[in-house]
Amino acid sequence: MRLSRDHHGFQSLSLLCLATLVLTLLMNPQTVNAQATLEALDWAYAISPPFPPEEDDGTLHSLPGTDLQFTLDEARNRFGPADWYPQDHPEMPEIVAVGREEAGIMACALCHYPNGQGKPENASVVGLEPEYFIQQLEDMKNGLRRSANPEKANTNLMIAFAASMTEEEIQQSAEYFASMEWRQWIEVVETDTVPLTFRRGGLHIPLEGDEAGTEPIGQRIIEMPVDPEGTELWRNPRAGFRALVPPGAVAAGEELATTGGNGITVECSICHGENLDGLGLVPPLRNRSPSYLARQLFDFQQGTRQGAWAPLMDAVVENLSGEDIINLTAYLGSLPAEPED
């Protein structure tokens, strides 16, 4: 059928061209692969619908091993959150303890905890070389580090914080978190089934009561707090996480990490050190959150991490599938925080 040359004909032709262009873009192998990998990594982002915050009724709460008590609002105060265990860390600089409210910079301790151990939805920032820490904030400030998933809202928050921080604040926070040692935080468990969970604040929280149950794990990692209520509501900085991974993932990940898997990737130890506990400005990988590591691998793969050291990751991530990322991060998370003698 021949298209007429009247206004409606040109409009139809324009719509046809637009549809063809969109279809071409969607069928681009790189675009399709990226979308498929992003969907396969849905577990790592744990994007959740907004929940109304729990109401503070004024009740004082405490955690095991401390005599301190705080209300819910005090525990989660964005500009001075509760410090449950001040004996566990050095004196915090102001930017870490309370942030800078007039600039909209929330306390580092709110999300990363005073001990820097962090949670799967953000990052563990303890035990990093100060220069590496500073470089990451500079990359965020300069538009060189962002999330490949635009729904990852807290990444955008962190970019805004970095842009507003002074050089002194960046230096103070870097030196503070570097002054403490990374400690065991993740337990990796291979399993066929996982608890039914809901998502809140980037966390997988197990359902309780009549809603509790299990389901097949499939091709994903479910990283849950050991103390769900203490972590979700009270920010318990002594309660780590358990990462449930598919059977065989750790061994498959070890093969990739130590041999490159016949050209799929590159041995991690080349840059991250023989024990994978970091080498100079290259960060440690041992016992870090699989969710966090998976997001970073995908960010490198999609070019949204473009800092000074990013080109070193090109050959590492180029051919990784969603399953490869699951296996690699399961293995890295399973390593003890300290290398065994």
For residue 53, what pLDDT is reported?
Answer: 84
Residues 6+ apart with CB under 8 A from 86: 114
Q: Is the pLDDT of residue 25 over 50?
A: no
Task: Using alpha carbons, select from 109, 218, 127 the residue that is nearest to residue 177.
Answer: 127
Is residue 34 situated within a structural domain?
no
Burial 64-99 (b: 16+ CB within 10 A, else e): eebeeebebeebbbeebbbbbbeebbeebbebbbbb
270 and 148 fall within a common domain? no
Is residue 269 situated within a structural domain?
yes
Is residue 33 situated within a structural domain?
no
139 and 278 fall within a common domain? no
Is residue 267 situated within a structural domain?
yes
Is residue 270 situated within a structural domain?
yes
Is residue 323 situated within a structural domain?
yes
169 and 187 fall within a common domain? no
Last residue of a domain, one of 153, 178, 203: 178
For residue 254, what pLDDT is reported?
Answer: 98
Last residue of a domain, one of 158, 178, 198: 178
215 and 270 fall within a common domain? yes
For residue 339, what pLDDT is reported?
Answer: 87
Range of the domain at 233: 183-334
pLDDT tens, 123-169? 999 999 999 999 999 999 999 999 999 999 999 999 999 999 999 99
Q: Is the pLDDT of residue 20 over 70?
A: no
Percent of the chain with pLDDT over 70: 90
Q: What is the CA radius of gyration of the chain?
A: 22
**Helix axis angle, 167-178 to 130-141, nearest 10°:** 140
239 and 261 fall within a common domain? yes
Total domain count for the chain?
2
Q: Where are the beta strands (DSSP E) in 157-221?
A: 186-190, 193-195, 197-200, 203-206, 214-216
Last residue of a domain, one of 178, 202, 217: 178
d(CA 46, CA 223): 10
Are 52 and 143 in contact by the 8 Å Cβ rule? The answer is no
203 and 330 fall within a common domain? yes
Is residue 100 situated within a structural domain?
yes
Are 258 and 269 in contact by the 8 Å Cβ rule? The answer is yes
203 and 317 fall within a common domain? yes
pLDDT tens, 273-320? 999 999 989 999 999 999 999 999 999 999 999 998 899 999 999 999
307 and 234 fall within a common domain? yes
246 and 287 fall within a common domain? yes
171 and 196 fall within a common domain? no
Phi-psi category of residue 89: left, alpha or beta, with phi > 0 → left and psi -120 to 50 → alpha: beta
Q: How many residues does the chain have?
A: 341
187 and 155 fall within a common domain? no
Q: Is the pLDDT of residue 11 over 70?
A: no
d(CA 297, CA 274): 20
**Helix axis angle, 322-334 to 290-302, nearest 10°:** 140
Are 250 and 330 in contact by the 8 Å Cβ rule? The answer is yes
For residue 49, what pLDDT is reported?
Answer: 86
pLDDT tens, 204-257? 999 999 999 999 999 999 999 999 999 999 999 999 999 999 999 999 999 999
What does the mean pLDDT of the chain come to?
Answer: 91
d(CA 82, CA 68): 9
Q: Is the pLDDT of residue 8 over 60?
A: no
d(CA 237, CA 118): 8
Burial 118-151 (b: 16+ CB within 10 A, else e): bbbbbbbbbbbbbebbbbbbbbbbeebbbbbbee
Is residue 239 situated within a structural domain?
yes
CATH number at residue 202: 1.10.760.10
277 and 311 fall within a common domain? yes
pLDDT tens, 307-329? 988 999 999 999 999 999 999 99
